[in-house]
Amino acid sequence: MITQQDVKYLGAECMLRRSSLRSQLLLAVALACCAILSTQVMIRYMWTLPQFSHLALYNDKLEIKRFKSVLQLQLKRLQNIAYDNAVWDGSYTKALARDQQWFKDNFMIGPSFQHLSINGLYFYDNEQQLLAGMSVDNNLQPITITMFSAPQDIPTKLLISTEEVQQNQLMPVSKTSFIKINDKPAVVISQSIAPSLEQGVSAGTLLLWHYLDSSFIGELMPLANDDIRIIDPAQESDIALHISTMLQTDDIQIKLWKNSLYLGVLGLDNQLLLVFAIPQSPRIYDEALFNPALSAGIAVSFLTLLLFYLYISRKLVEPVRHLLKTISYVNFSNDYSARANLRGHNEIHKLGRLIDQMFELVAQQQQKLTMKNRQLQDLSNTDALTGLANRRYLDEYLETLRNTVVNRKQPIAMLVVDVDFFKRYNDFYGHAMGDKVLQQVAIALQESTHRATDLICRYGGEEFVLVLENTSKEEAMVVAGNLCQAVEKLGIPHQTSAASKVVTISVGLAVKPADAIIEYETLFAWADAALYIAKDNGRNRYEVA
């Protein structure tokens, strides 16, 4: 059966759960995790990734500079070849003499092209007429280039005129141009033919050309031949928007597109001729916002906070909750025997032990108070002289019987006892002796009733009342007779009694039959009336109402 205290305790337990310190700690840990996650993401987004990106762009810039430098070195090599063969007294004198056979015999041979690693070599006199020339493919097989064989088809910008040499103070003039030869991009090196001392009028022009293809890249960077691509702008119209730099300029603006960097080459008409696609520098970092390192860091942070939460929960929250639960239980149940029994050395455990000591002290005080209250209760319900129940207890006892359903269905007998001529006894023997008589009579009454359900009380003065539960009229008459005999057998002298030479009693008896509804006040009145009849009939006897 759940009592009101149990309901209060359960309510306190629910309140304790709603205001759980553990929930607040868990919320704090969750907020800390969110703060750590936000901080790490913010740091990565605002600082780490931009720094890595800046470093990557710097490496991209170095990469394209490196390729550009290698490309310029290759062009420089071709320029040196042109210079060595054009600025030479042998070529100079033979060009002035227009000795075509000499040029054919000394230059127009396959091994020379293979050794020089070029695709074509042409000599023109100072009137821009072809002296000798030859072109080969990458397999050193001769090919015909109409543009170089017919002077009228050669772009004027490729040949060097005598006026250009004169404007250069008779010093050799060199040009590097990019054109398409047989619909393939190529580089053309133009060098004025001059004497070895470099000073003099031009004897003509030397043209040297090389395809800008995979073999050209292989000569530049053998290990990167498969990575670098050559793109025709006509095939990708948007490529011009993503070029980072031009070969002919120094400015570099890194633009990544399709994981590549793009270097453009302008032709004679200043139009985009071809584009080199260079792979971007390797990314040694993860560009994703949530990379494995960040995820691992977050996981470690969460694990650390979880361990912190478990530690705090075990060392602080659990003791506090246990202490609060114990205090709540004591508060709502008034059971000060409960103990927190905290084992530990921190302040919470010390507080728990102090509270246990306080509960122990309160329990001791409560026990003493209970004993005092019980003593007071006994004093308030007990006759001080005889040790029997007093009239107040009788009233409470009868009220309990009235409210008990079982007793309503049972017979109940009530006996009213009076010591015969007790006033005369007091006057003759004194009140002290009278008190002893009352004590002896009380003992005799107790010894004559043995059942736990028999109540004997001192009603007042020399009058006693007995209540016998579940006792019939016949049984009550036997008890009444025994009472009279027991007191008379005490043999207490009573010289002033008109009924006997010893102390005697008179008894009035009334019985409530089973299943009868009779108020106990009425039953007492009947028994009291029977007592007066017993007195009128000579005393030392009992009468039944």
**Tens digits of residue pLDDT in 354-389:** 888 888 888 888 788 778 877 767 667 899 899 999
The pLDDT tens digits of the residues spanning 259-289 come to 899 999 999 889 999 999 999 888 776 767 6
3-state secondary structure of 158: coil
> Considering the chain, what is the average pLDDT of its residues?
87
Confidence (pLDDT) at 533? 96
Q: Which of 516 and 163 is assigned the larger pLDDT?
A: 163
pLDDT of 396-443, one tens digit each? Answer: 999 888 887 767 788 999 999 999 999 999 999 999 999 999 999 999
Average pLDDT of 50-68?
89
pLDDT value at residue 161: 93
Query: Residue 451: pLDDT above 90?
Result: no
d(CA 92, CA 193): 6
- Smallest CA-to-CA distance from 457 within 541, 394, 503 is with 394
pLDDT band of residue 463 (cuts 50, 70, 90) is very high
pTM: 0.53
SS (H, E, C) 428-494: HHCHHHHHHHHHHHHHHHHHHCCCCCEEEEEEECCEEEEEEECCCHHHHHHHHHHHHHHHHHCCCEC
DSSP sequence for 298-353: HHHHHHHHHHHHHHHIIIIIHHHHHHHHHHHHHHHH--TT-------SSHHHHHHH
**CATH number assigned to the domain with residue range 382-544, chosen from the 4 options 3.30.70.270, 3.90.600.10, 3.30.70.20, 3.10.20.30:** 3.30.70.270
CA distance 539 to 118: 163
**What string of DSSP letters covers 503-515?**
--EEEEEEEE-TT
Among 408, 380, 403, 411, smallest CA distance to 393 is for 380
- Which tens digits make up the pLDDT trace of 210-246? 999 888 888 777 655 568 899 999 888 889 999 999 9
What is the predicted pLDDT for the residue at 282? Answer: 80
Q: Please tell me the distance from the alpha carbon of residue 471 to that of residue 7, in angstroms, as a whole number.
A: 42
Please state, in angstroms and rounded to a whole number, the distance separating the CA atoms of residues 327 and 342: 13
Q: Where are the domains of the chain?
A: 1-86+290-333, 87-219, 336-381, 382-544
Compute CA distances 235 → 217, 240, 267, 273, 360, whole Å: 20, 11, 16, 11, 96
Give the strand order in the sheet containing 130-136: 142-143, 130-136, 120-125, 204-211, 184-192, 174-181
Eight-state DSSP code of residue 262: E
Q: What separation in angstroms does the CA of 275 have from each of 73, 96, 259, 468?
A: 18, 40, 15, 126
pLDDT > 90 fraction of the chain, expressed in percent and rounded: 53
Please state, in angstroms and rounded to a whole number, the distance separating the CA atoms of residues 196 and 86: 9
**CATH superfamily of this structure's domain 87-219:** PAS domain (3.30.450.20)
| Residue 8: predicted pLDDT | 47
Residue 36: partners with Cβ closer than 8 Å, 6 or more residues away: 298, 301, 305
Cβ atoms of residues 273 and 267 within 8 Å: yes
| 199 close to 170: Cβ distance less than 8 angstroms | yes
* pLDDT tier, 484 (very low <50, low <70, confident <90, very high otherwise): very high
Phi then psi for 256, rounded to 5 degrees? -90, 135
Give the residue with greater pLDDT, 138 vs 297: 138
pLDDT of residue 505: 96
By annotation, the residues acting in catalysis are 462
Q: Crossing angle for the helix pair 89-96 and 100-107, nearest 10 degrees? A: 140
DSSP 271: S
Q: Is 413 helix (H, G, I), strand (E, B) or coil?
A: strand
User: Which tens digits make up the pLDDT trace of 96-125?
Assistant: 999 999 999 999 988 889 888 999 999 999
